[in-house]
Amino acid sequence: MMTRTFVSLLALGACLLIAGPALAQTIPAGQRARVETLAQAPAARVLRDEAGRVRRAWGLGIPAAGVDATSRAREFLGRFGHELAMPADARLVPLSVHEAHGFTVVRFARHAHGGPVLGGTVVVRLRGERVDYVAAHRVAAPEARSPDARATRSIDEATAARLALAETQLERVLEAEAAALEQDGLLYPVWRVDVAGAHLHQRERVILSGDGALLARHPLSLDALGRVFPRDPTSDEDMTSDVELGFLTSRERLTGRYFRVESCNAGTRGCEPTQLATADAAGDFLFDPVEPAFDDAFAEVHTYHHANRAAAYFRDTHDFTWTCGGDSLMRVFVNYTEGPDVPYDNAAYSPSSGSDCGFMLFGQGASHDFSYDSDVVYHEFTHGIVDGIAGLGFFLVDALGVSYDPGAVNEGTADYFAATLSGDPFMAEYFMGASASGEGALRRLDNDLVCPDDLAGESHFDGRIWAGFGWEVREILGAEKTDALIFTTVASLEMIPSLAELAEVTMATADAMQAAGTLDADDRAVIQASLEGRGLVGCERVAPLDGGFTRIGFSGNGSLTSSAGGSIAPVHYRIDVPADATRLVITIESATFGEPDFLLHTRVGAPVRFVPSRTPPVVANGSLDPDARGRVVLTRETETPLARCETLYIAVVTENLRTVNAALYRIQATLEQSGLDESCEDPPTEEDASAPVVDAGVSADGGVTSPSGGGCGCRASGASPLPLGALGLFVTFLAFRRRRPR
């Protein structure tokens, strides 16, 4: 199966609220006869893929006819859909229409074989009656037809549901839906099945082929924060204020127009929701904090207040209200635990699926209650907002393997809006026991992190770069402009963006806001400088390993990276090898519990390439097994020789990833040099020769362009390793996740 098969899986994490089949419409073929091109727009900026297809264009200002935003978007696509390479019979289903900050964003999903194409998204943004921006992803492939055996479904919905339950060992089906998946340049029918278990956090998505073969599975819940180490409370923990609780629709319980807050009251079968907080004779909910406790009424009151504060901000500032099936009431569970008196050190937002609407849950940890920290409440609610405006996925697959960039965009956005609501750049000071200055906070947005130096491959860590960009710009332009920029950018994204694509859309949004008069030229320059300074423009997951720095990396999710990405860690590495290099020692060791078994693939002159049709599924010059000390040694005489005057690329594979589930690792390179005056222009000797580079081209399905240039000099990196506090937290989180019952 070609790489395109696995690239298509990148949409699995997207949770779409798909309109019914009756809304599907075929774009009239007659509208495609006109010969206008997007590039003819006076201020147009057009980005194309390797096949010449438009994947994103902005600065268009093209008038579109219609009675509303959706019809105008359709009319525009009818004229220019051929540039996006949409087949003439492509069916588009409207997903959402949102107006804010002077723009209207219309999102469509492409449908084929009776359901949505996984990842097939078209985004059209209008200003008034003119289209200023369009982006398309995975809309070009035609439907596969008979006699291809894969072009039909040989199992029905009930069988798909049964197979998904058997695969996950969960208990009930939330939704089973026909869908389509691109494989080898054609769209084939598949089944997408969402299933759930007894515990609220046990929700997974399973993708099955038309004949029932498992293609992929992954969790639906968005875990926002890792496990907390026991810390002393902050100095103002017991300081409370009496505030007005708005939007209540019940006189006795915490049920309102936008939220219903309940406690878990866990039994042997999991969470049994009940509302503990009841109004007193005066109609007030005045409870003192009790922590740790599994029956804490204060947690309900505190969460209700801060959830409503976040919801009011998004309504008032961005004109967006979270809804599910037309209902704006979200359920919130506090004092959450998996069993009686069993702490749950986490918090999560779980998106809507089928008839089950999205919800938030906040664990009662071993020593701290996650709902007590307003940053956590704001962060989780923002996940719900992002789900509503963009339906972002969790991962994508490209020529480097599985990437968690879409999750990083989601996590960074949630951190940014939590910080803008709190008014400071520190995340989760309370339950981390941080100081008032933010020292010891879980994450800080006043950072100087950059791509690729500070990439780890894990979404929370990598999201700090995007969140840091937002806070940096906010400090200069102010909250009003920056909040609008971040919100409109995210609303304009395709479902599975990379960090590089995020930067493109951010600049497209800045251009549109400047044209609308919301930003000026100086504002735009600030945004561009910050994006470039943080390496988000053209960001690739290949981090420098020069200079002796120790990098922290993430192995990837056990079931996902192992099945869809050849167990290759999300971040690759590169070392520029100078002419006088004599010895290179690469050391890798586990930074988590368990015993991950690492293997290093190397390639000279281009990144190691993921090709699923190969065995093993990589294009590389060599595969190196670290010794008992976790070391790989390369010299000019070793079987895989040290290639002087070249760039050496390294990919990390965790061979037992399914067993260890997930791991962090430390990797470092030490280069020894002779100090002799050796020239890169010297003809290579036999011992310098490396294995031939195979298949070094760029794939048309999202391949990675090889960075140019060799390496006659060491390229120093100014990156610093991940904070030890964050590392320790995530290590504990991984161990905790492995102990969860499935």
Token pair listed for 115: 């359901």
Residue 83 DSSP symbol: G
Tell me what pLDDT residue 741 has. 33
Share of the chain above pLDDT 90, in %: 52
Both 634 and 704 in one domain: the answer is yes
Tell me what pLDDT residue 731 has. 35
Both 216 and 285 in one domain: the answer is no
Both 706 and 565 in one domain: the answer is yes
Higher pLDDT, 304 or 239: 304
Tell me what pLDDT residue 650 has. 97
Among the candidates 137, 164, 188, a domain finishes at 137
Domain membership flag for residue 116: yes
Tell me what pLDDT residue 520 has. 97
- C-alpha Rg value of the chain to the nearest Å: 26
719, pLDDT greater than 60: no
For the domain that residue 274 is a member of, what is the CATH number? 3.10.170.10
Tell me what pLDDT residue 14 has. 37
Q: Which amino acid is at 228?
A: V
Q: How many domains does the chain have?
A: 4
Residue 480, CB-side half-sphere exposure with 13 Å CA sphere: 3
Tell me what pLDDT residue 436 has. 58
Summarize the confidence of residues 531-557 as an average pLDDT. Answer: 94
d(CA 541, CA 539): 7
649, pLDDT greater than 90: yes
Tell me what pLDDT residue 271 has. 82
Both 627 and 693 in one domain: the answer is yes
644, pLDDT greater than 80: yes
Please, are residues 150 and 210 in contact by the beta-carbon 8 Å criterion?
A: yes
Mean pLDDT of the chain: 82
Both 90 and 162 in one domain: the answer is no
710, pLDDT greater than 70: no
Tell me what pLDDT residue 693 has. 42
Summarize the confidence of residues 367-371 as an average pLDDT. Answer: 87
d(CA 392, CA 732): 27
pTM of the model: 0.80
Domain membership flag for residue 528: no
705, pLDDT greater than 90: no
Share of the chain above pLDDT 70, in %: 83
For 137-141, 200-204, 361-365, 544-548, which range has the lowest pLDDT when averaged over its residues?
A: 200-204
Domain membership flag for residue 697: yes
For the domain that residue 661 is a member of, what is the CATH number? 2.60.120.380
For the domain that residue 218 is a member of, what is the CATH number? 3.10.450
590, pLDDT greater than 90: yes
464, pLDDT greater than 80: yes
Please, are residues 56 and 505 in contact by the beta-carbon 8 Å criterion?
A: yes
Domain membership flag for residue 485: no
d(CA 306, CA 432): 19
Domain membership flag for residue 421: no
Both 593 and 718 in one domain: the answer is yes
Tell me what pLDDT residue 19 has. 31
Confidence of residue 13 (pLDDT cuts 50, 70, 90): very low
Residue given tokens 């020529």 in the structure block: 399
Both 41 and 121 in one domain: the answer is yes
Closest residue by Cα to residue 500 from 460, 530, 468, 531 = 531
Summarize the confidence of residues 604-631 as an average pLDDT. Answer: 92
Tell me what pLDDT residue 728 has. 39
Summarize the confidence of residues 211-226 as an average pLDDT. Answer: 66
Confidence of residue 239 (pLDDT cuts 50, 70, 90): low
Both 682 and 702 in one domain: the answer is yes
Residue 259, CB-side half-sphere exposure with 13 Å CA sphere: 29
Both 90 and 153 in one domain: the answer is no
Angle ∠(58,63,64) on CA atoms, nearest 5: 100
For 52-61, 279-288, 302-311, 322-331, which range has the lowest pLDDT when averaged over its residues?
A: 279-288
Domain membership flag for residue 530: no
- Alpha-helical (H) ranges within 404-478 are 405-422, 429-432, 459-477
Closest residue by Cα to residue 688 from 579, 607, 596 = 579
Among the candidates 137, 158, 192, a domain finishes at 137
Domain membership flag for residue 107: yes
* Domain containing residue 268: 228-233+248-389
Instruction: Give the tens place of pLDDT for each residue, 395-445.
Output: 888 999 999 999 999 999 999 999 999 999 999 887 776 565 667 788 999
d(CA 411, CA 347): 13
Confidence of residue 738 (pLDDT cuts 50, 70, 90): very low
Both 201 and 263 in one domain: the answer is no
SS3 annotation, 205-270: EEEEECCCCEEEEEECCEECCCCCCCCCCCCCCCCCCCCCCCCECCCCCCEECCEEEEECCCECCE
527, pLDDT greater than 90: yes
5, pLDDT greater than 80: no
Closest residue by Cα to residue 269 from 368, 168, 172, 346 = 172
For 10-14, 281-285, 670-674, which range has the lowest pLDDT when averaged over its residues?
A: 10-14
Among the candidates 137, 162, 181, a domain finishes at 137
d(CA 594, CA 664): 10
Tell me what pLDDT residue 60 has. 92
Instruction: Give the tens place of pLDDT for each residue, 55-96.
Output: 899 999 999 999 999 999 999 999 998 888 888 888 999 999
d(CA 62, CA 133): 9
Tell me what pLDDT residue 681 has. 65
Instruction: Give the tens place of pLDDT for each residue, 673-703.
Output: 998 888 876 544 444 444 444 343 333 333 3
Token pair listed for 608: 């190691």
Higher pLDDT, 725 or 403: 403
DSSP 103-164: EEEEEEEEEETTEEEEEEEEEEEEETTEEEEEEEES--PPBP-TTSGGGS--S-HHHHHHHH
Both 133 and 158 in one domain: the answer is no
Both 132 and 159 in one domain: the answer is no
Confidence of residue 238 (pLDDT cuts 50, 70, 90): low
Give 166: exposed, middle or buried? Use CB within 10 Å, 0-12, 13-18, 19+. exposed
Domain membership flag for residue 475: no
